[in-house]
Chain A
């Protein structure tokens, strides 16, 4: 391979993941600290939610720059499904769901999803038309 190509590619390959790892580490530290706080104060919310709301507040108030977390956050959220697929595989331990019970569960999920989607969209559309009409 041509040395010039390598020199151009090196910063992309090396620097980018490097920063992403550090930022992922920062998010893990933030989550861990929030986890400690929720346990110590016996808060009724999970540490992850406290961490999310605290980080949102600190970013919004300008206490922490978004640049410290942006790449790590995009990386984690980009691979979110990889993190919950192992949990979904617990289904192999629930053969009892391969029955009428499973059919009932699937029907519940499907019908409720239609209800939630239709209801939410209609309410927001109604609100949009009302506020739109009022403004002009």
Chain B
């Protein structure tokens, strides 16, 4: 197949599978029908079946990855929209972000060292609790593989959103803000969606925690790389 045709095929294929997966998710609404998971599995299966390389696939879809940059800038809009919530709960939000980020970075580091993983894999695991575009940036700056970080981050989100309610049932957590913080810090985007199902305030708290945790982690990474 001609390279241009291949690129065009993978571009159209990704968009069509994604749109179909969204419709599927609207119908079933379960974790396994997540458009992210479905698009990933279907496109991955097609790449392997057609004996194409990842390079072929990316030639048609790299512009989608490029849009992660502007999408990160777009996070300013939800923060501004919920500025009253930020003003009211800044101390609790800050505490959640600092403790959550420390736990996320520390626990990944300890387990990676314990399993004797390579420094590259360890750096790819460390930022996996924050939202994917920022996690990929952090991973690259720490000497990790951003693409693997995207996979670990997705796994974190899927698993976190799936077990969040069980954890809420086990833990003595009653306040809406702590329930939102659990999902936003632990399961980023997927968690925000799940928190939104519990209640509007939980959803807003989760999205704020997620965005602030991403910013905080990247500022930490900047400090580390400076020294």
Contacts and interface: CB of A to CB of B under 8 A. Distances in A.
Contacts of B83: 60
Interface residues of A, number: 72
Contact of A89 (B44, B92, B185): B44
Nearest to B226: A44
B171 A118 contact: yes
Contact of A109 (B64, B74, B156): B156
A86 B215 CA distance: 23
A46 B154 CA distance: 21
Contacts of B61: 86
B163 interface: yes
B182 A77 contact: no
A91 B73 contact: no
Contacts of B160: 113, 117
A31 B14 contact: no
Given A93-B53, A104-B115, 8 more contacts: A27-B73, A45-B218, A48-B133, A51-B73, A84-B132, A112-B129, A116-B186, A117-B160
Interface of B: 14-15, 18, 34-36, 39-40, 43-44, 47-48, 53-54, 57-58, 61-62, 64-65, 67-81, 83, 91-92, 95-96, 99-100, 103-104, 107-108, 111-112, 115, 117, 121, 125, 128-129, 131-134, 136-137, 141, 145-148, 150-152, 154-156, 159-160, 163-164, 167-168, 171-175, 177-179, 181-183, 185-187, 189, 209, 211, 215, 218-219, 222-223, 225-226
9 contacts: A31-B70, A44-B222, A52-B73, A80-B68, A87-B65, A92-B57, A93-B54, A116-B103, A120-B185
